Structure 1
Amino acid sequence: MSGLVLEGLTCRYGDVAAVESLDLSVPAGALVCLLGPSGCGKTTTLRAVAGLVDPDAGRILRDGEVLSAPGAVVPPERRRMAMIFQSYALWPHMTVAGNVAYALKLRGLGREAIAREVASVLRAVRLEAFAERLPAELSGGQQQRVAIARALAMQPRTLLMDEPLSNLDANLREEMRHELRRLHEAHGVTTLYVTHDQAEAMATADLVAVMDRGRVVQLGTPEEIYALPASAFVARFIGGANLIPGRHLGEGVVDCGGFSLACASGAAEAGASVLVAIRPHAVALTSEPGPNVVRGRLVRATFFGPVRELLAELAGGVMLRAVRPAAEPVPGEGAVLLSLPPEACRILSG
């Protein structure tokens, strides 16, 4: 298996830096998601790894071999990489088996070996019964699995995926997340996966690289990224955390103007302007005053099936979101008490 290292990668389009001084290490056999909003540079990064974009600065290495550097780029066809696109890019006139076999012909396999490999890889993606169908006769999820089968058949050292589930409906996306994870665990190919969907990244990735303005701003497991965001951007983008401005009084206590909050994680100098991050699901309604219990005015309660989203206005006009079980009683609009447990509050730089 082959790991990837990106060192100081910079890619420009004219005067605009799509990727700037990006550093990233993809361990051998890991599935790493590049996660971020549109325009953050994640697809440019992926295309640079594929050899489709030349870097203006920095290097891309695999097992110590330089694949890309300014003026020295290994051509895409010599990289032993397979790329899966949003559009699937299947040959419409070829059957499912024909699409997969085409990749095997490129590897120079004989007819019998191709037949065995096609059967094996279609079995892996659970499409052996669809071998003779054309792509137009398949659902979107099935077409995506054909694209994955074709990529796996090439036995790539590195697998690249660019928003592979974006064209699927919500139910199919959820199904395919688990399918991608199952296939990765079965084959263990080093994979770099681009998405803007945080649920997709959480469900599929070993590591998540959150990108903003052409750089990786935090790298960690899904659990680390969610529980310990390194910045306000990460806290807001992953899980939509509430961010409450205040001034750090020291020892984890923040004066938020009209109320104070004790925070169990994060750090800042005493007197510094900070933000207190807390996830909506950690905010609870209560009837008893106490530490980290704040007064607010319930503005809206919105039903979302199993949960209900509450929006409350705190002192100073701060808006706070809470997500509670739908079966939990909710008072009418008006004064409420909200509990923000210290263990769920994290201090971030303001």
Structure 2
Amino acid sequence: MAELILNQVSKVFEQNRVVDQISLNIPQGSFVALLGPSGCGKTTTLRMLAGFETLSEGELRLGNQTLATAKTQLPPEDRNMGMVFQSYALWPHMTVAENVGYPLKHRRIPSGMYQKKIKDALETVEMMPYAQRYPQDLSGGQRQRVALARCLVTDPDVVLLDEPLANLDRHLRASMEESFRAFHQRTGATMIYVTHDQAEAMSLANQIAVMEKGRLVQWSSPEALYHQPKTQWVAEFIGQGSILMGKKAPENQTLTGEGVNALFHPTNERAQSAFLVRPQHVQIELINASLPQSAALTARVISQVYRGERYEIHLEMPNQQRLQAFHPMAVPIGATVSLNLTQAWSLAA
């Protein structure tokens, strides 16, 4: 295995720049998510890696081997990559074992080794008891495991996954996420996982490439992406949170302590900086309307949603700025609450 390198990779369809100069160095053995909304270019990027799409510009390399440039293209079968599709792409007339063994057919592998590779791949995804069944006799999660085993059977350097959980219900998605984590730990393969679901990306990947309109906007660990987004767009796309305008502050810094509330004090003449405030960093307390209101920051409750372990409270401040808070109990709609903001991330202008 070797480092996977994307150097200024672009793809243009009829003068529409779908992927725009993406550059990434992906260490071997990484679990990387390509994350972004529909139409951002993440699947096209994956298809270029697989060899299903040509490059308009740039270069792809796996270690010292050039996979593709704008003028040359190594065929998919020579890249030692495996791909798992959203639709599973299993042959309905073949058994599970036959589907898994299909990529080996043209490699002239001796019969004994052929059977062993199929057995090992099926055992890795815990599907050996279903070897003689047909795809139509399996659940969605089981079919996805078969597709993963078929990918694994050729010992790929890189595993490409194109929204593999999109067709599964929530329970199966959670189960398959654990399967992907276990698969990655057992094989040590480099995994590139395309998704528009931030929760999937955050729970599976050790590095995330966030894409918007064909461009790479941030390349970070899940923790850094959540706590230190580089742009307002990323801050709004990743996790729950509110963008508040406040007093001028240094960019790209985590601010804590009593000074956070002063950033949004009602007497501030002009808000000059944007801040990300996560709901868990908003403390609220109901104000008794019959008593004098001395709180520096207040807000009115405009709606709330019960989330099981907590309530998600939606608030509006006197200057019409809105934010979210988490609270263990319901709060009356229309009530006034005091605010204590414990942390904020100052966004770049």
TM-score by length of 1: 0.90
| Matched residue, 2:290 | none
Out of 272-281 and 234-243, give the one that drifted further.
Answer: 272-281
Q: Does 2:345 match 1:337?
A: no
Residue of structure 2 equivalent to 1:275 = 274
Matches within 5 A, 1:189-208: 189-208=189-208
How many residues are matched? Answer: 335
Alpha-carbon displacement from aligned partner over 1:325-349 (angstroms, at most 9, x marks no partner): 3xx35344321112210xx201113
2:311 is the counterpart of 1:308 = yes
Q: Residues of 2 paired with 1:74 and 1:117: CA distance?
A: 25
Residue of structure 2 in register with 1:348 after alignment? 347
CA change 1:284–1:257 in 2 (3 A) is closer
C-alpha separation in 2, matches of 1:245 and 1:10 = 36
| Residues 56 and 257 (structure 1), Cα distance of their counterparts in 2 relative to 1, 3 Å cut | farther
* Distance of 1:145 and 1:209 partners within structure 2: 25
Counterpart check, 1:78 vs 2:81: no
Does residue 103 (structure 1) correspond to residue 103 (structure 2)? The answer is yes
2:298 match: 295
SS at match of 2:248: strand
Spell out, residue by residue over 1:49-106, the C-alpha distance to the aligned partner (whole angstroms, 9 max, x if none).
Answer: 1111111111111103221111111111211111111000001111111111212323
Point out the more displaced range, 83-92 or 330-339.
330-339
- Superposition pairs of residues 17-166 of structure 1, within 5 angstroms: 17-166=17-166
CA positional deviation for 1:274:
2.1
Shift of 1:205: 0.6
Structure 1 segment 166-177 matched on structure 2, within 5 A:
166-177=166-177
Displacement of 1:179 after TM fit? 0.8
Deviation string, structure 1 residues 145-178 (Cα, Å, up to 9, x no partner): 0000000001111111110110001111111111
Residues 7, 58 of structure 1: 8 Å contact kept: yes
Q: Secondary structure at the match of 1:98?
A: helix
Q: Once the two structures are superposed, what CA deviation does each residue of 1:9-55 show, in whole Å capped at 9, x if it has no partner?
A: 11111111011111111111111100011111101111111111111
Structure 1 counterpart of 2:324, from 321, 326, 340: 321
- Cα distance between partner residues in 1 of 2:220 and 2:97: 38
Paired residue secondary structure (2:47): helix
- Residue 107 of structure 2 aligns with an amino acid whose one-letter code is R
Q: 1:290 to 1:192 in 2, by over 3 A?
A: farther
Give the whole-Å Cα distance in 2 for the aligned partners of 1:209 and 1:298. 36
Question: CA 1:145 to 1:250, structure 2 compared with 1: closer, same or farther past 3 Å?
Answer: closer
* Deviation (angstroms), 1:290: 9.0
| AA aligned opposite 2:313 | L
Q: Which amino acid aligns with 2:339?
A: L
Please tell me whether the aligned partners of residues 163 and 195 of structure 2 are also in contact (alpha carbons under 8 angstroms): yes
CA 1:222–1:259 in 2, change beyond 3 Å: closer, same or farther?
farther
Q: Calculate the aligned-residue CA RMSD, in Å.
A: 2.1
The question of whether the paired residues in 2 share the 8 Å contact of 1:35 and 1:209 is answered with yes
Matched position secondary structure for 2:326: strand
Q: Is the 8 A contact 1:122 1:128 kept in 2?
A: yes
CA distance in 2, matches of 1:290, 1:100: 69
Q: Counterpart of 1:336 in structure 2: which amino acid?
A: V
Distance in structure 1 (CA, Å) of the matches to 2:216 and 2:271 = 26
Which range moved further: 243-252 or 162-171?
243-252
Question: 1:78 and 1:87 mapped to 2: Cα distance?
Answer: 23
Note the alpha carbon deviations across 1:92-143, whole angstroms, 9 max, x for none.
1111111112123233222221222222111111111111110000000000
Pairwise CA distance, 1:322: 1.5
Deviation at 1:272, TM superposition (A): 8.4
Letter in 2 for 1:346: W
Match of 1:264 in 2: none
Structure 1 CA distance, aligned partners of 2:310 and 2:15?
46
Return the TM-score normalized by structure 2. Answer: 0.90
1:337 corresponds to which letter in structure 2?
Answer: S
- Percent identity, aligned pairs only, is 39
Q: Deviations over 1:226-251 (max 9, x none)?
A: 11111111111110321012340569
Offset at residue 324 of structure 1 (A): 2.8
Any conservation in 2 of the 1:41–1:213 contact (CA below 8 Å)? Answer: yes
Task: State the 1:183 CA deviation.
Answer: 0.3
Equivalent position amino acid for 1:65 in 2: Q
State the AA in 2 paired with 1:144: Q
